[in-house]
Amino acid sequence: MSETLISQGNESAASASIGVRPEWSSEEIRRLNETFAEKPAEALLAWALERFHPRIALASSFGAEDVVLVDMLWRLRPDVRVFTLDTWRLPTETYDVIDRIRERYGIEVEIYTPDPTDVAEMVRAHGYNLMYRSVELRKLCCHVRKVKPLERALAGLDAWITGLRREQAVTRAHVAKIERDVRHGDRLKLNPLADWSWEQVWAYIRRHDVPYNVLHDRGYPSIGCAPCTRAVQPGEDPRAGRWWWEQNPALQECGLHVPHDPARVGIVLPSGEKSSS
């Protein structure tokens, strides 16, 4: 089994971009979405791996959707690249499932962590649990612990894969299977499960006996950092347990997929840096 790769601060496990990434016009994206609209997720993944490997990777939080994609990708190409963002505040159960996935599939997991200096300065200025004090401070925490590490994780990639589904939240209702991700360096962003239901996700997990986060069995359909995640009640939105105290579904994103810039709302980033969101 390969060792987990860990990237911290400004040191990236991925090399800097080599050559020029292919550019995608709106018309090309539209045609690709038409081509794969009715095809299974595996067909899109097979095309993407053939087209981009090794400059493509799955961004995984190891929730239900992501472990499905790990299994699909591994069946297509055992040397698939998978990375995760370790915010240093994840639940123990998330670390457990990362280990079980590595053992089951024998894959490397590239782990990206926040810059220690950024975290130290943020905590010094706003405290450990700043996320509870305001939406702006919560977004700052997400920016430092997630968004900036993601930028390093994407270095050297032409495309990335996510587990986004339209059913997950109002902020994701119009997710396309294939997107031009201008915000993250004009890469291709693939969401193969965009049209899947929650029932389809779990049918796949059970059919293939895929390891999953046991918090799903305890009422957690969406799992993020431990301080920012709770179980949901019957009838609640699947992401209602994320940043539940904000009570506004339109705001309940960390910034990885819906842009927000802490600097625009008067929050100073560590070291006086301005967000690139």
**Counting beta carbons within 10 angstroms of the beta carbon of residue 145, is it exposed (0 to 12), middle (13 to 18) or buried (19 or more)?**
buried
Q: What is the mean pLDDT of residues 127-140?
A: 93
**Counting beta carbons within 10 angstroms of the beta carbon of residue 268, is it exposed (0 to 12), middle (13 to 18) or buried (19 or more)?**
middle
The neighbour count for residue 182, using CB atoms within 10 Å, is 10
The superfamily in CATH containing domain 5-13+24-270 is HUPs (3.40.50.620)
Beta strands in the chain (DSSP E): 5-7, 56-59, 82-85, 109-112, 159-161, 178-181, 187-190
pLDDT over 80 at 15, yes or no: no
275 falls in which pLDDT band (50, 70, 90)? very low
pLDDT in tens, 25-45: 889 999 999 999 999 999 999
| pLDDT value at residue 24 | 82
pLDDT in tens, 171-196: 667 888 999 887 877 899 999 999 99
| pLDDT value at residue 267 | 41
* Of the candidates 1, 39, 63, 42, the residue with the CA atom closest to the CA atom of residue 238: 63
19 falls in which pLDDT band (50, 70, 90)? very low
Mean pLDDT computed over every residue of the chain: 84
pTM over 0.95, yes/no: no
| pLDDT value at residue 274 | 45
pLDDT over 50 at 147, yes or no: yes
| pLDDT value at residue 239 | 74
For the chain, percent of residues with pLDDT exceeding 90 = 65
Active-site annotation holds for 254: yes
Sheet holding 109-112, edge to edge: 5-7, 109-112, 82-85, 56-59, 159-161, 187-190, 178-181
| pLDDT value at residue 252 | 54
pLDDT in tens, 211-264: 999 999 999 999 999 999 999 988 887 778 877 878 765 555 555 655 434 343
Q: Are 56 and 48 in contact (CB under 8 A)?
A: yes
pLDDT over 80 at 57, yes or no: yes
Task: Name which residue leads in pLDDT, 238 or 150.
Answer: 150
* Of the candidates 44, 83, 78, the residue with the CA atom closest to the CA atom of residue 196: 44
Question: Picking from 80-84, 159-163, 263-267, which range would have the lowest pLDDT averaged per residue?
Answer: 263-267
User: Which residues lie closer than 8 Å to 11 by C-beta, 6 or more apart?
Assistant: none
Q: What is the mean pLDDT of residues 71-84?
A: 98
- Rounded to an integer, what distance in angstroms lies between the CA atom of residue 259 and that of residue 31? 25
- Rounded to an integer, what distance in angstroms lies between the CA atom of residue 4 and that of residue 34? 37
